[in-house]
Amino acid sequence: MLVNEEHLGLCSSPQWARWVEDELMPWVLDGHDLGDHLLEFGPGPGLTTDILRRHAARVTAVELDPRLADQLPARLAGTNVAVVAADAARLPFPAGLFSAAACLTMLHHIPSAALQDAALAELGRVLRPGGVLVGSDGLDSAERRRLHLGGIFVPVSSATLPERLRRAGFVDACVEVHGDRLRFAATAGL
């Protein structure tokens, strides 16, 4: 199980939706143009998708969890969002399809650093040269570990993420820490 029921409940709550709208997304998206076709990697219940779809003409949301991938299309029907059930480490898209990609509070749900790196490389592959990757994740903490009991939690280090992004084919990687979270942005190589 990628996400336990407590965690899924939190990430579906009105409180989380307000925090995502008021704090997380303005911080992560600040200064970034997402272009015409955004790939959202791991939308979960779709609260981040609700905001991202206002920042790009088209959004393709890739979700691995079958329950969530089955629920999202009905919730997002009639919008500019298409939902695809797929593994981010093996994306079913041609190279250079997307103008931007977003990875929001989900890298830690990938079960190993090697698979995280494979997913980052896939994001680099499907982005157009010069396309931007934006993202965020929570840092390792006792509370975060407790919230993830029974699920997957492989925290991402702010110290190693820039080099990992470079190895995945990105340039101009920027990683910033604020409190117990990090945000990152990088550009797909030419």
Mean pLDDT of 77-100: 96
Q: Which of 104-108, 121-125, 127-131 has the lowest mean pLDDT?
A: 104-108
Give percent of the chain above pLDDT 70.
94
Mean pLDDT of 36-52: 94
CA angle 6, 109, 81 (to 5 degrees): 90
- Work out the pLDDT band at 112, boundaries 50, 70, 90: very high
Determine the pLDDT at residue 1: 46
DSSP code per residue over the chain: --S-HHHHHHHTSHHHHHHIIIIIHHHHHTT----SEEEEE--TTSHHHHHHTTSSSEEEEEE--HHHHHHHHHHTTTSSEEEEE--GGG--S-TT-EEEEEEES-GGGSSSHHHHHHHHHHHHHHEEEEEEEEEEEEPP-HHHHHHTTTS---PPPTTTHHHHHHHTTEEEEEEEEETTEEEEEEEE--
Determine the pLDDT at residue 92: 97
